[in-house]
């Protein structure tokens, strides 16, 4: 079975690239993030023509997550356990953003997650990010009560180590590399999950994100922030994992590349 995760940075804008990638990479399950569309606007018809069922969670032009599967789609859950909301500037009430969706596909339980960016250390969005990560940890812990293969995949907006960014000095005092964020990532792993780290192909570190600006991709000035964590039942099946850099090349691409994991039959 082939499972992948990809922050597409607008499913509408990237639809031709997405359909092409589904046709060539042929994942059995694909977790998507940053849909930037409401559920009823998701291109389920076009994707369905390739044999995929779709479970989407989105409300509009920001955020949004989905699970695409051609091996069954059951037990769909939208949102984390006790998921916090965010009080945006000028808003009167907190809003729960569409950032997590779980589903069971071919006997494997997956969650597609789009962790809040955090904006700046000390910002209200940063505090929201840490609360959200705590809810993700609690959700993962609850899922781990089942012995079936289980994985959390997505854009975590956290680089696990200093080596996972192109130049750590460029991130001094910034989000994505702060101690509190990394502690939250460690707490998630301590529930019983292990990161499936993709093997490096062209470069020493398999970055997954490159800013559009300043020729970051051609110069490989990226970050590894799209991650996969699985329980022992999941990681014991891993045969290979890699970042598909080809999907980041050319015009009309997302600023993220897909991360792929191939599993042997259980």
Phi-psi region of 220 (alpha: psi -120 to 50; beta: other; left: phi over 0): left
Vertex 80, ends 109 and 143: CA angle to 5°?
35
Q: What is the pLDDT of residues 167-225, one digit of tens each?
A: 999 999 999 999 999 999 999 999 999 999 999 888 888 999 999 999 999 999 999 99
Query: How large a percentage of the chain has pLDDT more than 90?
Result: 92
b/e burial code for range 58-89 (CB count within 10 A of at least 16 → b): beeeebbbbbbbbbebeeebbbbeebbebeee
- Is residue 92's pLDDT more than 90? no
* CATH number among 3.40.630.30, 3.20.20.140, 3.20.20.70, 3.60.10.10, domain 2-263: 3.60.10.10
Token reading at 223: 């970050």
Give yes or no: 123 in active site.
no
Q: Phi and psi (nearest 5°) for 249?
A: -85, 155
Which strands, in side-by-side order, build the sheet including 238-243?
Answer: 53-57, 65-69, 29-33, 2-7, 259-263, 238-243
| pLDDT surpasses 80 at 41 | yes
When pLDDT is cut at 50, 70 and 90, the band that residue 84 belongs to is very high
| pLDDT attached to residue 75 | 98
Q: Can you give the pLDDT at residue 59?
A: 93
Q: Which of these is catalytic: 57, 125, 176, 256?
A: 256
Residue 78 has pLDDT above 80, yes or no: yes
Strand partners, 68: 30, 54
3 touches 29 (CB < 8 A): yes
Catalytic residue among 52, 86, 114, 126: 114
Sketch the domain layout of the chain as residue ranges: 2-263
Mean pLDDT of 30-34: 98
* 114 catalytic per annotation: yes
User: Residues forming the annotated binding site for Mg(2+)?
Assistant: 7, 34, 155, 157, 255-256
Asked if residue 155 has pLDDT above 80, the reply is: yes
pLDDT, residue 163, reads 96
As annotated, the binding site includes 7, 34, 155, 157, 255-256
Distances (CA, A) of 60 to 129, 157, 183: 20, 21, 31
Residue 222 contacts residue 208 (beta carbons within 8 Å)? yes
- Marked catalytic residue, from 28, 57, 155, 209: 155
What does the pLDDT average to over 84-99? 88
pTM: 0.97
Residue 89 scores a pLDDT above 80: no
Q: How confident is the model at residue 42 (pLDDT cuts 50, 70, 90)?
A: very high
Please, which pLDDT band fits residue 90 given cuts at 50, 70 and 90? confident
Please give the average per-residue pLDDT across 88-117, as a whole number: 93
The contacts of residue 19 (CB under 8 Å, 6+ apart) are 46, 47, 50
CA distances from 153 to 40, 89, 91, 114, 216 (A): 23, 29, 30, 9, 24
Do β-strands 150-155 and 194-195 pair in parallel, antiparallel, or remain unpaired?
Answer: unpaired
Distance of alpha carbon 30 from alpha carbon 246, whole angstroms: 17
The answer to whether 33 touches 8, Cβ cutoff 8 Å, is yes
Residue found by looking up tokens 């039942």 in the block: 233
Dihedrals phi, psi of 242, to nearest 5 degrees: -160, 165
Average confidence score pLDDT of the chain:
96
Average pLDDT over residues 107-113: 98
Q: Is the pLDDT of residue 232 over 90?
A: yes
Residue 115's pLDDT is 98
């Amino acid at each position: 079975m082939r499972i992948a995760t990809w922050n597409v940075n607008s499913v509408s804008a990237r639809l031709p690239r997405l359909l092409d990638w589904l046709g060539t990479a042929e994942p059995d399950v694909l977790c998507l993030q940053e849909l930037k569309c409401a559920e009823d606007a998701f291109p389920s018809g076009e994707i369905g023509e390739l044999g995929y069922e779709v479970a989407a969670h989105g409300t509009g032009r920001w955020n949004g997550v989905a699970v695409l599967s051609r091996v069954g789609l059951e037990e769909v859950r939208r949102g984390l356990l006790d998921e916090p909301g965010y009080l945006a500037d000028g808003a009167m009430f907190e809003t729960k953003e569409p950032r997590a969706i779980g589903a069971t596909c071919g006997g494997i339980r997956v969650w597609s997650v789009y962790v809040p960016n955090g904006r700046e250390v000390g910002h209200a969005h940063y505090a929201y990010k840490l609360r959200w990560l705590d809810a993700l940890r609690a959700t993962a812990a609850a899922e781990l009560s089942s012995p079936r293969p289980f994985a959390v995949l997505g854009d975590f907006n956290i680089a696990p180590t200093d080596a996972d960014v192109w130049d750590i000095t460029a991130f001094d005092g910034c989000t994505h590399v702060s101690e509190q964020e990394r502690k939250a990532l460690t707490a998630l792993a301590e529930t019983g999950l292990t990161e499936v780290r993709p093997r490096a192909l062209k470069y020493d570190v398999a970055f997954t994100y490159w800013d559009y600006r300043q020729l970051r991709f051609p110069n490989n000035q990226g970050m590894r922030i799209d991650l996969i964590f699985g329980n022992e039942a999941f990681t014991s099946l891993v045969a290979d994992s890699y970042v598909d850099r080809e999907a980041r090349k050319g015009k009309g691409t997302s600023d993220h590349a897909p991360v792929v994991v191939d599993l042997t039959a259980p």
